[in-house]
Amino acid sequence: MAPVDNGAQTETKDQAITSTTAATDPYNVEAAEILASSAQHMPIAQAAPIYEQILSLFPTASKFWKQYAEAHMAVNNDDAIKQIFSRCLLNCLHVPLWRCYIRFIRKVNEKKGAEGQDEIRKAFDFMLGYVGADMASGPVWMEYITFLKSLPAQTAQEESIRMTAIRKTYQKAIITPTHHVEQLWREYEHFENSVSRQLAKGLISEYQPKYNSARAVYREQKKYVDEIDYNMLAVPPTGSFKEEQQWMAWKRFLMFEKGNPQRIDSASSNKRIIFTHEQCLMYLYHYPDVWYDYATWHAKSGSIDAAIKVFQRALKALPDSETLKYAYAELEESRGAIQPARKIYESLLGDGVSATALAHIQFIRFLRRNEGVEAARKYFLDARKSPDCSYHVFVAYALIAFCLDKDPKFAHSIFEAGLKRFMHEPVYILEYADFLSRLNDEKNIRALFERALSSLPPEESVEVWKRYIQFEQTYGDLASMLKVEQRRKEALSRTGEEGASALESSLQDIVSRYSFMDLWPCSSKDLDHLARQELLAKNISKKAEKSAVCNGPATLDKIPAVLASNSNVFGKVIYPDTSRSVIYDPRQKLGTHHFFFMRLEFHLAQQCLGSRLLLTHCQILLDWHPMYLMRC
Amino acid sequence: MAPVDNGAQTETKDQAITSTTAATDPYNVEAAEILASSAQHMPIAQAAPIYEQILSLFPTASKFWKQYAEAHMAVNNDDAIKQIFSRCLLNCLHVPLWRCYIRFIRKVNEKKGAEGQDEIRKAFDFMLGYVGADMASGPVWMEYITFLKSLPAQTAQEESIRMTAIRKTYQKAIITPTHHVEQLWREYEHFENSVSRQLAKGLISEYQPKYNSARAVYREQKKYVDEIDYNMLAVPPTGSFKEEQQWMAWKRFLMFEKGNPQRIDSASSNKRIIFTHEQCLMYLYHYPDVWYDYATWHAKSGSIDAAIKVFQRALKALPDSETLKYAYAELEESRGAIQPARKIYESLLGDGVSATALAHIQFIRFLRRNEGVEAARKYFLDARKSPDCSYHVFVAYALIAFCLDKDPKFAHSIFEAGLKRFMHEPVYILEYADFLSRLNDEKNIRALFERALSSLPPEESVEVWKRYIQFEQTYGDLASMLKVEQRRKEALSRTGEEGASALESSLQDIVSRYSFMDLWPCSSKDLDHLARQELLAKNISKKAEKSAVCNGPATLDKIPAVLASNSNVFGKVIYPDTSRSVIYDPRQKLGTHHFFFMRLEFHLAQQCLGSRLLLTHCQILLDWHPMYLMRC
């Protein structure tokens, strides 16, 4: 078979993969399964690149590794097989793959006499060290014991050594919760009795409780394991029910193992926990939380180095996960390894040109924490030159200058410098105003609002107007308060979002002006009612404007129809039981988030929810009292 | 019939009303209708107290007033009838009631010759001045004209005066949009032609366009009027569909009238608008917004005195409406009438002992605005002695001292004095911390959190812990940040709300620590995923804890069942199209309220919403980033 042919055929397969999956996501499980099964009927030279391709996407798919190894085994490519096993075994703690490995080792070493037997024994030990804790490892333990029993023993000493090896293996096997633990126990009893009835009695009564415990744990553990699909391919989370179910199954299993249900020594327990984590990662390879939990568990168990290795593997699996990088950097930083931490931060910054604003900010914070005021300042002064440096970086650094460096003047100058670039960013204006209000700098706050509102288009100035009004409610007199409210109405009426009628002052404005924190000048029922009215009024004014334009009976005719169609919705609405609501209760002791959240929860508890009502409440809370949200 | 009997019978009726409605609300429309119809068959002496009772609840129910008057008319109690009309006419601008009045006046004056005729003419003028703009007033105009025509005219001069009176009345009637405007026009044409064909031509061509306009407006107006139920009794809003429909119908009608569709002079237009407002108040008598809009319209039209009279009537109708009192006080204050405004504030405070916290706060603000620093301070120092003075008053006054009086030391001492009383109020702690963070007083903020957390029970300290963590994220180093987070977890794990597993740090914590404003170290998809996981994990740990207690197979058996039942829910969930979501987009230019609101709106747009998803998002936003909410 010429290599040229090979190449050509592979390319066709490549195209097949591409055409099946390119349009959607590369992790197309179905396509991979089809490809793998088609590879089974090809000569190995043709199949190998296909396996490589599949395995580059699914590096923890033990079934494909096994199939790949078996394809080579069919033609006795021993070197290739060894290569494959060296690449996959330690990342794929799955019994069938490892049994395939043992088959290979036995086949290779069968004819090599004592030396070969030693190799096989080592392979068994190696395997059981990695997957001996697997519930499916029973047959491996049995096979090992059978193998040990089959070993020749010429002298009495050799016989004694062999017996000891068999006994030790039995004693490990019967304290491992596997499907075959009962059978292994019966065999062990038989074994000891066949060796020495007298000795057996003592040993069996010594191991009986350990076996009992293993069997009890097995029965419990089986329920967790039964929930797990060991055939699943590792794909990035899509949020499917199957995936969530598997994620939960693994979480529960891990939690169970972490509880050390067998009450074994902590070293053995930790080994089991590591085994379960590693196995879990075969399937939840693309889940940053699983990697993170694993690393954290290592760190908490005192193995910082192991934790760091997990992070390094995690970043190979998920090189784009910023979250994992921050977590990794945090671990390094908190153990005092500032240089390694800095390297990770630098990797987040990339070449610096296309660094995200968040990466700049976190690096500045890191520098401020670990290298001091000057290092942070220097980095900021460089970073702000980048055209991609957003207002966030200015805000973050100004807050550092104010809160940490206690340098309000410099902080002020940063905000002022940023204003030249970010005058068009309402959020920046609000942050700047917030900062000035910490300085209690009334004059500059007012000036800032005026500057911003003279340049922002009305549709971008909604929040700025709101804050300006809140400001006047706190700092201004009645006339300035009313004047800004009126100006806001005039400015925003031009956006078309609010109708002409919105220009008029409404009772809602009064409620908003004369509220304070969670105190309202009316009952919660009144608030519900007013909010509902506001919503209805918006519809009226929209319609009225339309009819003012058309000014004909055609438009007016439509109103009753609209009402009629609404009536279906209205009929279904469940009104809240305001007596249970805590929002407006002045005695309530929770912060805003809770008060808002409880309200939402309460609404959601009513299952199929009339959306108009929730909207109403959101509006009442957000439109009327942004100030309160701001405060708490 | 002895008065004693009367009393006894009335009492029975009283009891009937009480037993029917006492348990629910006094404004029982059905009961009132039944009572009123039973009163019709009673002697007037028995019926009168019933009418009085009904009318004390429904003072604008013109149909009951009419019935009451008619009952007296049946027995010719002229004085009683006059009394009744004097009590109701001006508040009940309803044609049938007024026609009943005219009937009475005509009957009384019919036999009195010229003097009586004059009385009747005056009554017609009086009536048409009040309800002549009503669409149903056509027959009244006709009756008046017929009456005018029936007047004797001996001399040519008298005949001329009578003709002029008829012509003037016709000319008013035909420019009024009524159901009978066409008929009146035809009669008018006939009238003028019968007087003088030559003169008629000029007059008719002068009035034709005015009539045309009135007729066109009538056709348009009729659509609004047809939506209105003039038979409805005025009850406090309950939020029923019928009520909302009527409220909208009146709003639309008022908006139509305010647009002066007939393009008449503004005095006439204002008269119509006043008429419509007054009529509206017959039905929406208990709607503070209607009173407020009416008063505001007067104020804007330049009649502050009229506005104030409306507020006074409004407070008779709704004496408990704080909102209306603030609105009224605001009007007085903004026209410089400080003493009247002060009186309204004082009425809000009542005897001062049971005054609400909000009333104290608003009065302090009022004093600060109008009488200066000392007056406000003096009032606060008195008010805080009241046992009902809540922490809000301290917060409000401290903010005045800081923002307006520019006295941070005094503000600090107010917060500190309040702490002795309100150490158990998490919201107060948060406000105090907020204030200290404006002072950039790191040391005292930390001390405050420590003091508060050492005395607050864990279940009340959730928000304080959150704020403490935010504080350390801004002011602290990595170690202090992590330490407070860990302490929070330990403290809250004891509340039982979060499971033992919540003690472990999670990837969510990393996301929260390394976010800034709307920048996140992961994609919005990742955030959704993490939030979903957090929710699932909470369920796992709750179950795990239960099973740890029972530790038997019975509990474990249940897990698959739970999963199975959940699967129904999961199947229905609509996942958000995160590509349309703007929350996590660093380029987004909106403030928090918008970002939150848009998210909600987006979710709600999907109509029947899986509650778990919305909860998820609320949690992600509120649990993770209260700081962001706080900022913006």
Q: Grade residue A351 by pLDDT with cuts at 50, 70 and 90.
A: confident
Cβ–Cβ below 8 Å for A536 and B244 = yes
Cβ–Cβ below 8 Å for A533 and B247 = yes
Mean pLDDT, residues B2-7 taken together:
40
Which residues on chain A are in Cβ contact (under 8 Å) with B628? Answer: none
Distance CA B632, CA A552 (A): 45
pTM for the model: 0.79
Maximum Cα–Cα distance across chain A = 115
Q: What is residue B385's three-state secondary structure?
A: coil
Q: Best residue in B255, B391, B595 to probe A by mutation, most A CBs within 10 Å? A: B255
Q: From B490, B467, B461, B512, select the one nearest B619 (Cα to Cα).
A: B512
A368 at the B interface (CB within 8 A)?
Answer: no
Rounded percentage of chain B residues whose pLDDT exceeds 90: 74
For the cut 60, the answer to whether the pLDDT of residue B579 exceeds it is no
For the cut 80, the answer to whether the pLDDT of residue A547 exceeds it is no
Q: What is the pLDDT of residue A301?
A: 94
Mean pLDDT, residues B226-244 taken together:
94
Q: What is residue A516's three-state secondary structure?
A: strand
Q: What is the pLDDT of residue B544?
A: 54
Contact pairs from chain A to chain B, CB under 8 Å: 341
Single-letter code of the amino acid located at B145 = I
Report how far Cα B208 is from the mean position of its chain's Cα atoms: 44
Choose among B256, B334, B593: nearest Cβ to A479.
B334
Choose among A556, A575, A623: nearest Cβ to B239.
A575
Check if the interface score ipTM surpasses 0.85: no
Choose among B251, B607, B618: nearest Cβ to A537.
B251
Smallest Cα distance from B622 to chain A, Å = 6
Q: Grade residue B224 by pLDDT with cuts at 50, 70 and 90.
A: very high
Helix spans in A335-477 (H)? 338-349, 357-370, 373-383, 391-399, 408-422, 426-438, 442-455, 462-475
For residue A461, the chain B residue with the least C-alpha distance is: B590
Smallest Cα distance from A15 to chain B, Å = 29
**DSSP label at residue B575:** P
HEC string for A17-48: HHHHHCCCCCCCHHHHHHHHHHHCCCCHHHHH
Task: Answer with the residue of higher pLDDT: B333 or A565.
Answer: B333
Q: What is the pLDDT of residue B540?
A: 74
Distance CA A466, CA A451 (A): 15
Distance CA B392, CA B367 (A): 17
Cβ–Cβ below 8 Å for B596 and A622 = yes
Q: From B362, B439, B427, select the one nearest B393 (Cα to Cα).
A: B362
Q: What is the pLDDT of residue B272?
A: 96
b/e string for B561-570 if b means 16 or more Cβ within 10 A?
A: eebeebeeee
Distance CA A72, CA B122 (A): 117
Q: Grade residue A496 by pLDDT with cuts at 50, 70 and 90.
A: low
A532 at the B interface (CB within 8 A)?
Answer: yes
Mean pLDDT, residues B266-294 taken together:
97
Q: What is the pLDDT of residue A539?
A: 76
- Chain A from 397 to 416: CB within 8 A of any B CB: 399, 402-404, 406, 408
Cβ–Cβ below 8 Å for B630 and A631 = yes
Cβ–Cβ below 8 Å for B251 and A553 = no
CA distances from B235 to A241, A248, B30, B240, B245 (A): 51, 55, 12, 11, 14
For residue A363, the chain B residue with the least C-alpha distance is: B514
Cβ–Cβ below 8 Å for B426 and A556 = no
Distance CA B52, CA B345 (A): 33
DSSP H or E run through B62: helix B62-74
Cβ–Cβ below 8 Å for A408 and B440 = yes
Q: Are A304 and A335 in contact (CB under 8 A)?
A: yes
Long-range contacts, stretch B475-484, CB < 8 angstroms, 24+ apart: B475/A403, B475/A404, B475/B442, B475/B445, B475/B446, B477/A369, B478/A330, B478/A333, B478/A334, B478/A369, B479/A334, B481/B513, B482/A334
Q: Are B78 and B48 in contact (CB under 8 A)?
A: no
Smallest Cα distance from A376 to chain B, Å = 14
Name B458's bridge partners. none
Task: Answer with the residue of higher pLDDT: A52 or A22.
Answer: A52
Q: Are A592 and A555 in contact (CB under 8 A)?
A: no
Q: What is the pLDDT of residue A540?
A: 74
Q: Grade residue B482 by pLDDT with cuts at 50, 70 and 90.
A: very high
Smallest Cα distance from A592 to chain B, Å = 9
Single-letter code of the amino acid located at A510 = I
Smallest Cα distance from B552 to chain A, Å = 8
Rounded percentage of chain A residues whose pLDDT exceeds 90: 74
CA distances from A422 to A465, A574, B524, B584 (A): 17, 45, 25, 19
Residue carrying structure tokens 């330690």:
A90
- Chain B from 459 to 518: CB within 8 A of any A CB: 460, 462-463, 466, 474-475, 477-479, 482, 501, 504-507, 510-511, 513-518
Q: From B126, B127, B129, B109, select the one nearest B118 (Cα to Cα).
A: B109
Sign of CA dihedral B195, B198, B199, B205: positive
Model pLDDT for residues B527-563, shown as the tens digit of each residue: 999 989 888 888 776 655 544 433 433 333 333 333 3
Which residues on chain B are in Cβ contact (under 8 Å) with A533? Answer: 247, 289
Q: Best residue in B321, B415, B506, B516 to probe A by mutation, most A CBs within 10 Å? A: B516
Q: Are B365 and B378 in contact (CB under 8 A)?
A: no
For residue B563, the chain A residue with the least C-alpha distance is: A245
For the cut 50, the answer to whether the pLDDT of residue B573 exceeds it is no
Name B516's bridge partners. B519
Q: What is the CA radius of gyration of chain A?
A: 35
Distance CA A498, CA A619 (A): 14
Mean pLDDT, residues B591-602 taken together:
35
Q: Best residue in B527, B529, B578 to probe A by mutation, most A CBs within 10 Å? A: B529
Model pLDDT for residues A415-439, shown as the tens digit of each residue: 999 999 999 999 999 999 999 999 9
Mean pLDDT, residues B590-603 taken together:
34
CA distances from B331 to A617, B204, B326, B337 (A): 29, 47, 9, 9
B239 at the A interface (CB within 8 A)?
Answer: yes
Task: Answer with the residue of higher pLDDT: B597 or A492.
Answer: A492
Model pLDDT for residues A355-379, shown as the tens digit of each residue: 899 999 999 999 999 999 999 999 9
A549 at the B interface (CB within 8 A)?
Answer: no
Mean pLDDT, residues B300-315 taken together:
96
Mean pLDDT of chain A: 84
For the cut 90, the answer to whether the pLDDT of residue A570 exceeds it is no
Model pLDDT for residues A508-537, shown as the tens digit of each residue: 999 999 999 999 999 999 999 998 988 888
HEC string for A53-104: HHHHHCCCCHHHHHHHHHHHHHCCCHHHHHHHHHHHHHHCCCHHHHHHHHHH
Cβ–Cβ below 8 Å for B395 and A237 = no
- Which range is least confidently modeled, A215-229, A443-457, A596-610, B3-17? A596-610
Q: Are B360 and B383 in contact (CB under 8 A)?
A: yes
Which residues on chain A are in Cβ contact (under 8 Å) with B460? Answer: 589
